[in-house]
Structure 1
Amino acid sequence: MPGPTAPFRILAVILVLALPAMASDRPGYSFASIDGGTLSLADWEGRPVLVVNTASRCAFTKQYDGLQALYDRYRDRGLIVLAVPSGDFRQELSSDRKVKEFCELNYDLDLPMTTITPVRGEGAHVFYRWLAEAHGFVPSWNFNKVLLGPDGAVVATYGSATRPLSKTVTGEVEKLLPQG
Protein backbone atom coordinates (compact mmCIF):
# COMPACT_ATOMS: atom_id res chain seq x y z
CA MET A 1 0.00 0.00 0.00
CA PRO A 2 1.48 3.39 -0.99
CA GLY A 3 2.39 5.73 1.81
CA PRO A 4 1.22 9.34 2.18
CA THR A 5 4.15 10.62 0.08
CA ALA A 6 3.21 8.59 -3.05
CA PRO A 7 1.19 11.44 -4.65
CA PHE A 8 4.14 13.79 -4.12
CA ARG A 9 6.54 11.32 -5.75
CA ILE A 10 4.24 11.05 -8.76
CA LEU A 11 4.04 14.84 -8.99
CA ALA A 12 7.85 15.08 -8.75
CA VAL A 13 8.26 12.59 -11.61
CA ILE A 14 5.78 14.54 -13.75
CA LEU A 15 7.65 17.79 -13.08
CA VAL A 16 11.03 16.25 -13.89
CA LEU A 17 9.66 14.92 -17.18
CA ALA A 18 8.10 18.29 -18.01
CA LEU A 19 11.16 20.45 -17.22
CA PRO A 20 12.89 20.07 -20.61
CA ALA A 21 9.73 21.25 -22.37
CA MET A 22 9.35 24.16 -19.95
CA ALA A 23 13.04 25.18 -20.11
CA SER A 24 12.71 26.93 -23.46
CA ASP A 25 9.83 28.97 -24.69
CA ARG A 26 11.34 28.93 -28.20
CA PRO A 27 8.63 28.26 -30.73
CA GLY A 28 9.79 25.99 -33.55
CA TYR A 29 7.66 27.64 -36.19
CA SER A 30 8.58 28.07 -39.83
CA PHE A 31 7.37 30.61 -42.36
CA ALA A 32 7.44 30.46 -46.14
CA SER A 33 10.17 32.83 -47.34
CA ILE A 34 9.35 35.48 -49.94
CA ASP A 35 12.61 34.38 -51.61
CA GLY A 36 11.55 30.72 -51.69
CA GLY A 37 12.18 28.01 -49.13
CA THR A 38 11.45 28.47 -45.47
CA LEU A 39 12.50 30.66 -42.57
CA SER A 40 12.56 28.72 -39.31
CA LEU A 41 12.72 30.38 -35.91
CA ALA A 42 14.63 27.30 -34.72
CA ASP A 43 17.47 28.21 -37.11
CA TRP A 44 17.97 31.40 -35.11
CA GLU A 45 18.23 29.72 -31.71
CA GLY A 46 20.56 31.68 -29.46
CA ARG A 47 19.79 34.94 -31.26
CA PRO A 48 17.15 37.58 -30.55
CA VAL A 49 14.48 37.93 -33.24
CA LEU A 50 12.21 40.93 -33.82
CA VAL A 51 9.11 39.72 -35.69
CA VAL A 52 7.07 42.49 -37.34
CA ASN A 53 3.80 42.18 -39.24
CA THR A 54 4.12 44.60 -42.16
CA ALA A 55 2.11 46.08 -45.02
CA SER A 56 3.06 48.08 -48.11
CA ARG A 57 0.18 50.59 -48.10
CA CYS A 58 0.07 51.70 -44.49
CA ALA A 59 0.86 54.99 -42.79
CA PHE A 60 3.54 53.05 -40.88
CA THR A 61 5.18 51.57 -44.01
CA LYS A 62 8.04 54.05 -43.68
CA GLN A 63 9.11 51.99 -40.67
CA TYR A 64 10.73 49.65 -43.19
CA ASP A 65 13.62 52.16 -43.18
CA GLY A 66 13.91 51.81 -39.42
CA LEU A 67 13.64 48.02 -39.51
CA GLN A 68 16.46 47.81 -42.07
CA ALA A 69 18.56 50.28 -40.05
CA LEU A 70 17.98 48.27 -36.87
CA TYR A 71 18.98 45.08 -38.69
CA ASP A 72 22.08 46.77 -40.13
CA ARG A 73 23.09 48.12 -36.71
CA TYR A 74 22.81 44.83 -34.82
CA ARG A 75 22.98 41.96 -37.33
CA ASP A 76 26.72 41.39 -36.77
CA ARG A 77 25.94 40.95 -33.07
CA GLY A 78 23.18 38.43 -33.82
CA LEU A 79 19.86 40.26 -34.20
CA ILE A 80 17.39 38.95 -36.76
CA VAL A 81 14.56 41.21 -37.96
CA LEU A 82 11.81 39.19 -39.63
CA ALA A 83 9.21 41.05 -41.70
CA VAL A 84 5.87 39.27 -42.03
CA PRO A 85 3.77 40.96 -44.73
CA SER A 86 0.07 40.56 -44.01
CA GLY A 87 -3.13 41.54 -45.74
CA ASP A 88 -5.20 41.24 -42.58
CA PHE A 89 -5.73 44.99 -42.42
CA ARG A 90 -6.32 45.30 -46.19
CA GLN A 91 -3.18 47.33 -46.79
CA GLU A 92 -0.89 44.82 -48.47
CA LEU A 93 -0.20 44.44 -52.17
CA SER A 94 -1.84 41.59 -54.08
CA SER A 95 1.11 39.21 -54.45
CA ASP A 96 4.40 38.19 -52.89
CA ARG A 97 6.22 39.29 -56.05
CA LYS A 98 4.74 42.80 -55.81
CA VAL A 99 5.62 43.05 -52.10
CA LYS A 100 9.21 41.94 -52.74
CA GLU A 101 9.63 44.42 -55.63
CA PHE A 102 8.06 47.24 -53.61
CA CYS A 103 10.38 46.62 -50.63
CA GLU A 104 13.50 46.28 -52.77
CA LEU A 105 12.78 49.39 -54.87
CA ASN A 106 11.56 51.68 -52.10
CA TYR A 107 13.47 50.48 -49.04
CA ASP A 108 16.38 48.36 -50.33
CA LEU A 109 15.47 45.66 -47.81
CA ASP A 110 17.69 42.66 -47.32
CA LEU A 111 16.28 41.47 -44.02
CA PRO A 112 14.42 38.13 -43.94
CA MET A 113 10.84 38.38 -45.17
CA THR A 114 8.00 35.89 -45.31
CA THR A 115 5.33 35.49 -47.93
CA ILE A 116 2.03 37.32 -47.31
CA THR A 117 0.86 35.69 -44.06
CA PRO A 118 -2.31 35.99 -41.94
CA VAL A 119 -1.56 37.20 -38.40
CA ARG A 120 -5.06 37.38 -36.87
CA GLY A 121 -8.06 35.15 -36.37
CA GLU A 122 -8.62 31.48 -37.12
CA GLY A 123 -6.54 31.61 -40.28
CA ALA A 124 -3.53 33.16 -38.52
CA HIS A 125 -0.14 31.54 -38.93
CA VAL A 126 0.59 29.10 -36.07
CA PHE A 127 3.24 31.47 -34.66
CA TYR A 128 0.64 34.21 -34.26
CA ARG A 129 -1.92 31.75 -32.85
CA TRP A 130 0.74 30.73 -30.30
CA LEU A 131 1.34 34.40 -29.43
CA ALA A 132 -2.40 34.91 -28.91
CA GLU A 133 -2.96 31.76 -26.88
CA ALA A 134 0.22 31.68 -24.80
CA HIS A 135 0.92 35.41 -24.45
CA GLY A 136 -2.34 37.24 -25.17
CA PHE A 137 -0.74 39.19 -28.01
CA VAL A 138 -2.65 39.75 -31.25
CA PRO A 139 -1.48 42.41 -33.71
CA SER A 140 -3.94 45.29 -33.56
CA TRP A 141 -2.58 46.87 -36.74
CA ASN A 142 0.34 46.69 -39.16
CA PHE A 143 3.89 47.06 -37.82
CA ASN A 144 3.20 45.51 -34.43
CA LYS A 145 6.44 44.03 -33.13
CA VAL A 146 7.34 41.00 -31.03
CA LEU A 147 10.84 40.68 -29.58
CA LEU A 148 11.93 37.11 -28.88
CA GLY A 149 14.94 36.51 -26.70
CA PRO A 150 17.79 34.16 -27.63
CA ASP A 151 15.87 31.35 -25.88
CA GLY A 152 12.72 32.13 -27.87
CA ALA A 153 10.84 33.64 -24.94
CA VAL A 154 8.70 36.68 -25.65
CA VAL A 155 10.67 39.59 -24.18
CA ALA A 156 8.42 42.46 -25.29
CA THR A 157 5.65 43.44 -27.67
CA TYR A 158 5.23 46.84 -29.26
CA GLY A 159 2.43 48.59 -31.09
CA SER A 160 2.61 50.25 -34.48
CA ALA A 161 3.59 53.65 -33.12
CA THR A 162 6.78 52.30 -31.52
CA ARG A 163 9.55 53.03 -34.00
CA PRO A 164 12.16 50.33 -34.64
CA LEU A 165 15.03 52.63 -33.63
CA SER A 166 13.31 53.98 -30.51
CA LYS A 167 15.16 53.68 -27.20
CA THR A 168 12.37 51.36 -26.08
CA VAL A 169 13.25 48.81 -28.78
CA THR A 170 17.01 49.33 -29.01
CA GLY A 171 17.38 49.21 -25.22
CA GLU A 172 15.71 45.80 -25.04
CA VAL A 173 17.63 44.52 -28.07
CA GLU A 174 20.97 45.61 -26.60
CA LYS A 175 20.26 43.71 -23.38
CA LEU A 176 19.87 40.52 -25.43
CA LEU A 177 23.01 40.84 -27.54
CA PRO A 178 26.57 39.87 -26.65
CA GLN A 179 28.51 42.91 -25.50
CA GLY A 180 31.33 44.10 -27.69
Structure 2
Amino acid sequence: MSIYEFTARTIDGEIQSLSIYRGNVLLIVNVASHCGLTPQYGDLESLYRRYRERGLVVLGFPSNQFEQEPDDEATIKAFCTRNYAVTFPLFAKIAVNGPDTHPLFAYLKQQQPGLSPDGEIKWNFTKFLVDRNGRVVSRFAPADTVGAIEREVVKLL
Protein backbone atom coordinates (compact mmCIF):
# COMPACT_ATOMS: atom_id res chain seq x y z
CA MET A 1 0.00 0.00 0.00
CA SER A 2 1.14 3.53 -0.72
CA ILE A 3 -0.12 7.04 -0.10
CA TYR A 4 -0.94 7.27 -3.81
CA GLU A 5 -3.66 4.62 -3.58
CA PHE A 6 -5.95 6.87 -1.55
CA THR A 7 -8.60 9.27 -2.74
CA ALA A 8 -10.22 12.16 -0.94
CA ARG A 9 -12.98 14.65 -1.67
CA THR A 10 -11.67 18.15 -2.32
CA ILE A 11 -13.14 21.13 -0.53
CA ASP A 12 -15.10 21.76 -3.75
CA GLY A 13 -16.61 18.27 -3.64
CA GLU A 14 -14.62 16.43 -6.33
CA ILE A 15 -13.06 13.04 -5.68
CA GLN A 16 -9.31 13.30 -6.18
CA SER A 17 -6.65 10.61 -6.25
CA LEU A 18 -3.54 11.39 -4.24
CA SER A 19 -1.58 9.86 -7.12
CA ILE A 20 -1.58 13.32 -8.74
CA TYR A 21 0.97 14.29 -6.08
CA ARG A 22 3.38 11.47 -6.99
CA GLY A 23 6.96 12.75 -6.98
CA ASN A 24 6.26 15.62 -4.58
CA VAL A 25 7.06 16.01 -0.92
CA LEU A 26 3.75 16.22 0.97
CA LEU A 27 2.92 17.81 4.29
CA ILE A 28 -0.51 16.44 5.26
CA VAL A 29 -2.23 18.32 8.09
CA ASN A 30 -5.56 18.00 9.90
CA VAL A 31 -6.72 21.60 10.19
CA ALA A 32 -9.46 23.57 11.94
CA SER A 33 -10.65 27.15 11.70
CA HIS A 34 -11.82 27.68 15.30
CA CYS A 35 -8.71 26.52 17.13
CA GLY A 36 -5.99 28.30 19.03
CA LEU A 37 -3.55 26.87 16.47
CA THR A 38 -5.49 28.22 13.47
CA PRO A 39 -2.80 30.86 12.73
CA GLN A 40 -0.67 27.93 11.55
CA TYR A 41 -2.67 28.23 8.31
CA GLY A 42 -0.58 31.32 7.55
CA ASP A 43 2.68 29.54 8.36
CA LEU A 44 1.70 26.53 6.25
CA GLU A 45 0.84 28.83 3.34
CA SER A 46 4.20 30.61 3.66
CA LEU A 47 6.04 27.28 3.67
CA TYR A 48 4.06 26.15 0.63
CA ARG A 49 4.85 29.33 -1.29
CA ARG A 50 8.56 29.13 -0.44
CA TYR A 51 8.99 25.54 -1.59
CA ARG A 52 6.22 24.64 -4.01
CA GLU A 53 8.50 25.24 -7.01
CA ARG A 54 10.87 22.66 -5.51
CA GLY A 55 8.08 20.11 -5.14
CA LEU A 56 6.41 20.69 -1.77
CA VAL A 57 2.64 20.36 -1.55
CA VAL A 58 0.76 21.07 1.67
CA LEU A 59 -2.57 19.22 1.91
CA GLY A 60 -5.10 20.52 4.44
CA PHE A 61 -7.80 18.22 5.77
CA PRO A 62 -10.37 20.02 7.94
CA SER A 63 -11.74 17.95 10.79
CA ASN A 64 -14.34 18.63 13.44
CA GLN A 65 -12.98 15.74 15.51
CA PHE A 66 -12.13 18.16 18.33
CA GLU A 67 -15.20 20.37 17.84
CA GLN A 68 -13.09 23.16 16.36
CA GLU A 69 -14.35 22.98 12.75
CA PRO A 70 -18.15 23.17 12.79
CA ASP A 71 -18.49 25.03 9.47
CA ASP A 72 -19.32 23.62 6.05
CA GLU A 73 -16.74 23.36 3.29
CA ALA A 74 -17.72 26.60 1.54
CA THR A 75 -17.35 28.54 4.79
CA ILE A 76 -14.03 26.86 5.57
CA LYS A 77 -12.68 27.66 2.11
CA ALA A 78 -13.79 31.30 2.34
CA PHE A 79 -12.29 31.64 5.82
CA CYS A 80 -8.93 30.21 4.72
CA THR A 81 -8.80 32.37 1.60
CA ARG A 82 -9.92 35.57 3.31
CA ASN A 83 -7.87 35.30 6.50
CA TYR A 84 -4.75 33.41 5.43
CA ALA A 85 -4.67 33.66 1.60
CA VAL A 86 -4.47 29.86 1.47
CA THR A 87 -3.65 28.50 -1.98
CA PHE A 88 -2.53 24.99 -0.99
CA PRO A 89 -5.06 22.20 -1.63
CA LEU A 90 -7.86 21.84 0.91
CA PHE A 91 -10.12 18.85 1.21
CA ALA A 92 -13.58 18.15 2.58
CA LYS A 93 -14.04 17.60 6.32
CA ILE A 94 -13.01 14.17 7.55
CA ALA A 95 -12.70 12.17 10.75
CA VAL A 96 -9.12 11.53 11.87
CA ASN A 97 -9.95 9.17 14.77
CA GLY A 98 -12.58 6.61 15.68
CA PRO A 99 -14.71 4.28 13.59
CA ASP A 100 -15.22 6.81 10.78
CA THR A 101 -11.53 7.65 10.37
CA HIS A 102 -10.75 8.50 6.75
CA PRO A 103 -8.66 5.65 5.26
CA LEU A 104 -5.83 8.07 4.47
CA PHE A 105 -5.51 9.08 8.12
CA ALA A 106 -5.77 5.46 9.27
CA TYR A 107 -2.79 4.74 7.01
CA LEU A 108 -0.84 7.81 8.15
CA LYS A 109 -1.33 6.85 11.80
CA GLN A 110 -0.31 3.26 11.10
CA GLN A 111 2.88 4.40 9.40
CA GLN A 112 3.76 7.03 12.03
CA PRO A 113 1.85 6.33 15.26
CA GLY A 114 3.56 9.08 17.23
CA LEU A 115 3.67 8.81 21.01
CA SER A 116 0.23 7.25 21.34
CA PRO A 117 0.22 3.42 21.34
CA ASP A 118 -2.88 3.42 19.13
CA GLY A 119 -1.65 6.27 16.91
CA GLU A 120 -4.62 8.48 17.74
CA ILE A 121 -4.38 12.11 16.76
CA LYS A 122 -4.58 14.22 19.89
CA TRP A 123 -5.43 17.62 18.39
CA ASN A 124 -5.71 19.77 15.28
CA PHE A 125 -2.66 20.57 13.18
CA THR A 126 -0.95 17.20 13.52
CA LYS A 127 1.40 17.05 10.54
CA PHE A 128 2.62 14.08 8.49
CA LEU A 129 5.60 14.45 6.19
CA VAL A 130 5.69 12.22 3.11
CA ASP A 131 8.74 11.85 0.87
CA ARG A 132 8.78 11.91 -2.95
CA ASN A 133 8.33 8.13 -3.02
CA GLY A 134 5.12 8.26 -1.00
CA ARG A 135 6.67 7.05 2.27
CA VAL A 136 5.36 8.61 5.48
CA VAL A 137 8.67 9.61 7.10
CA SER A 138 7.72 11.84 10.04
CA ARG A 139 4.88 12.91 12.27
CA PHE A 140 4.82 16.24 14.04
CA ALA A 141 2.72 17.28 17.01
CA PRO A 142 0.17 20.10 16.75
CA ALA A 143 2.39 22.51 18.67
CA ASP A 144 5.37 21.82 16.39
CA THR A 145 5.62 25.00 14.38
CA VAL A 146 6.25 25.13 10.68
CA GLY A 147 9.57 26.81 11.44
CA ALA A 148 10.58 23.86 13.60
CA ILE A 149 9.83 21.30 10.88
CA GLU A 150 11.07 23.28 7.88
CA ARG A 151 14.54 21.69 8.05
CA GLU A 152 13.00 18.22 7.69
CA VAL A 153 10.94 19.41 4.71
CA VAL A 154 13.99 20.93 3.00
CA LYS A 155 16.02 17.71 3.44
CA LEU A 156 13.40 15.84 1.41
CA LEU A 157 13.29 18.43 -1.35
TM-score over 0.5 for the alignment? yes
CA distance in 2, matches of 1:130, 1:109: 26
Question: Counterparts in 2 of 1:126-165, with a 5 A limit?
Answer: 126-136=103-113, 137-165=119-147
**What is the alpha-carbon root mean square deviation over aligned residues?**
1.4
Q: Distance in 2 between matches of 1:69 and 1:36?
A: 25
Per-residue CA deviations over 1:119-141 (Å, capped at 9, x if unaligned) read: 11110100111123344233210
- Structure 1: give runs of 5+ residues left out of the alignment: 1-20
**Secondary structure of 1:165's aligned partner:** helix
Q: 1:80 is matched with which residue: 50, 57, 65?
A: 57
Query: 59-68 or 92-101: which moved more?
Result: 92-101
- Alignment identity in percent? 36
**1:72-117 deviation per Cα after TM superposition (whole angstroms, max 9, x unaligned):** 0000000000000000000003211111111111111111000111
Summarize deviations over 1:55-80 as a string: whole Å, max 9, x none.
00000000000000000000000000
> CA contact under 8 A between 1:93 and 1:99: conserved in structure 2?
no
TM-score of the superposition, structure 2-length normalised? Answer: 0.90
Q: How many residues align?
A: 152
Partner of 2:8: 31
- Per the normalisation by structure 1, the TM-score is 0.79
Q: Which has the larger radius of gyration?
A: 1
SS in 1 for 2:79: helix
Contact 1:54 1:86 in 2 (8 A): yes
CA contact (8 A) 1:27 1:41 kept: yes
